[in-house]
Structure 1
Amino acid sequence: MAAPRQPVPAISRPILAFFRSTARRYFRRQFHAVRARNLERFTHPGRPLIVYANHGSWWDPMVSVLLAAERMSERRHYAPMDADALKRYVILRSIGIFPVEMHTARGAAQFLRTGKAILESGGVLWVTPQGRFADPRQRPLDFKPGLAALAAKVEGGCTLLPLAIEYPFWDERLPETLLHFGEPVHVAPGEQDIQLKLESALLVAMDELKTVAIARDPRAFTTLRQGSAGAGGFYALGKRLAALLGRRPYIAEHTPLPEAPE
């Protein structure tokens, strides 16, 4: 007799819509802009799809919510979270976050069962395989083994898309959110020794993002969301008054940058 199929976590559409609206508002208020490179790799992926990213900030899960809302809203998106932490944020279960016991064999089995069910049902899985916060300059990446193990178990194979993330300050009061999708990694069922391949693909993406981030040129990116600009307060009021008196356009940015086309 076949084992019962692992259920896929339920997602509440109203709560998901609320969280997506909240993510858009957060990024608009807290960042100068959200900019991405190689978006076509995300919007035209293979199936099943795992997006895996470096994990440098509290903002990383919000990035996944925003990307899903802006570029792949028609598909269901899921991510694992430490079971103890999720107990404090139960509402997150309603948007596709599922619990995994950290550092136990049972937790590893939970992740494999639920992840496999999600992928084979057509859902997108988001993973931070370092399993902890880590500076984007830290090497080696030291992935946990669960991602590679899951990828090899998916029937028909799967695509893993590396995503490099940084939050640098350029010339404005608020930081940028910079995203760079690396080359997809295609894994066949039962394939062995893929962890090094996955780590290498993300390392390449992180190094490429570092290079363009240092250049500070928004034309290297697609601007997903434009956020707040300028210093605000009396400084911004003075700039507005000077522009009005000088009969010239008001520019909020401290250093106006050439923008890439949407």
Structure 2
Amino acid sequence: MVPMSRQMLQQAGVRPASPALVRAFAVIARRRLRGGFRALRMLHAERLAQAGTGPLIVYLNHPSWWDPLLCLTLARTLLPDCMHHAPMSAASLLRYPMFGKLGMFPVDQGSARGAAQFLRSSQSVLAAGGVLWITAQGRFSDVRLRPTTLKAGLGTLLHRFHDTTSITVLPLAVEYTFWNGVKPEALVAAGTPIPVHRMETTHTARTWTQLLEEHLQTTQDELAVAAMDRDPAIFQTLLDSEGASLWQRLRARMRGELEMPGADHTTEPH
């Protein structure tokens, strides 16, 4: 991986992340996910891990408030040696400046200035060999909505990509769903990587957007089918709250409490 250039990033308005703060916040993110979900499970995790050998864009659907915590956990688990960045509303970043130290960079939403800001900052992250995470729908969206639609920003970025190296674009489908237990499952699927080469003149910004939408929708459909099977063996489990659940069950038994039917999250309720 190309070393991150601090000067290059700062000139584009991107603040280099603080490794110590990222590590600390990653611990918090994992705790929150363990508390909120039965497990974090992933289809084709190797696709994300293998794509992190050069400049990478990970774009995903945006179903929930949980998405940033999930992305941070994926980044730290599967791509621990990469530098990660993501756009964030300039107003929100001004209100919560700590997120700038976690790799977020400001974008004024809904303006020409903001669009130019997004392109400049994103290009600097990619040119420096980093990983760019984008919730490309631009708003919260139900996972069942079809067709999958994206904002134009990412397609425009790829259309204007003129760096000397190639980059990889990876669709990521996210879904939060209940299976057989009290807690929901956090499910993720990595789609087929899309290689992007310098000066890909045959693709307009709109063509890129349509291609990205198709790839993400295909990945979402694959995840939906796997989710309906309710079989953990289909997935790679990246984070599991079973340890905490086991302790809670043992404590309940010591107190003489009864376990709820269906507390075994991997089997059908009795």
- Same fold (TM > 0.5): yes
The 3 A distance-change label for structure 1 pair 138 and 251 is closer
Give SS of 1:167's match.
strand
> What amino acid does structure 2 have at the position aligned with 1:43?
A
Matching residue within 54, 57, 61 for 1:47: 54
Offset of residue 234 of structure 1: 9.2
> What amino acid does structure 2 have at the position aligned with 1:182?
G
> What residue is the counterpart of 2:44 in the other structure?
38
Report if aligned partners of 1:173, 1:231 keep a CA contact under 8 Å in 2.
no
**Deviation string, structure 1 residues 138-161 (Cα, Å, up to 9, x no partner):** 123221111012123141332110
Distance, in Å, in 1 between the alignment partners of 2:32 and 2:234 is: 24
Report if aligned partners of 1:230, 1:236 keep a CA contact under 8 Å in 2.
no
Distance, in Å, in 2 between the alignment partners of 1:174 and 1:189 is: 45
Distance, in Å, in 1 between the alignment partners of 2:233 and 2:249 is: 31
- The 10-residue stretch of structure 1 (166-175 or 7-16) with the greater mean CA deviation from structure 2: 7-16
**Deviation string, structure 1 residues 219-248 (Cα, Å, up to 9, x no partner):** 0000001015659989972498589xxxxx
Offset of residue 59 of structure 1: 0.5
Matching residue within 225, 229, 233 for 1:215: 229
The 3 A distance-change label for structure 1 pair 234 and 107 is same
Distance, in Å, in 2 between the alignment partners of 1:18 and 1:257 is: 31
Is 1:146 equivalent to 2:153 in the alignment? yes
Distance, in Å, in 1 between the alignment partners of 2:240 and 2:262 is: 12
> What residue is the counterpart of 2:210 in the other structure?
196
**Deviation string, structure 1 residues 126-173 (Cα, Å, up to 9, x no partner):** 001110000011123221111012123141332110000011011111
Is 1:162 equivalent to 2:182 in the alignment? no
> What residue is the counterpart of 1:246 in the other structure?
none
Is 1:175 equivalent to 2:190 in the alignment? no
Is 1:237 equivalent to 2:252 in the alignment? yes
Matching residue within 68, 74, 86 for 1:79: 86
Give SS of 2:178's match.
coil
Aligned ranges 1:15-30 → 2 under 5 Å: 15-30=21-36
Distance, in Å, in 1 between the alignment partners of 2:67 and 2:264 is: 27
**Gap regions ≥5 residues in structure 1:** 244-249
Matching residue within 15, 23, 33 for 1:9: 15
Report if aligned partners of 1:165, 1:180 keep a CA contact under 8 Å in 2.
yes
> What amino acid does structure 2 have at the position aligned with 1:179?
V
Distance, in Å, in 1 between the alignment partners of 2:248 and 2:87 is: 41
Is 1:57 equivalent to 2:72 in the alignment? no
How high is the TM-score relative to the length of structure 1?
Answer: 0.87
Distance, in Å, in 2 between the alignment partners of 1:28 and 1:256 is: 14
Identity %: 39
**Gap regions ≥5 residues in structure 2:** 1-6
Report if aligned partners of 1:230, 1:252 keep a CA contact under 8 Å in 2.
no
Give SS of 1:198's match.
helix
Report if aligned partners of 1:116, 1:154 keep a CA contact under 8 Å in 2.
no
Report if aligned partners of 1:143, 1:199 keep a CA contact under 8 Å in 2.
yes
> What residue is the counterpart of 1:224 in the other structure?
238
Offset of residue 27 of structure 1: 1.1
User: RMSD in angstroms over aligned alpha carbons?
Assistant: 2.7
Offset of residue 174 of structure 1: 0.8
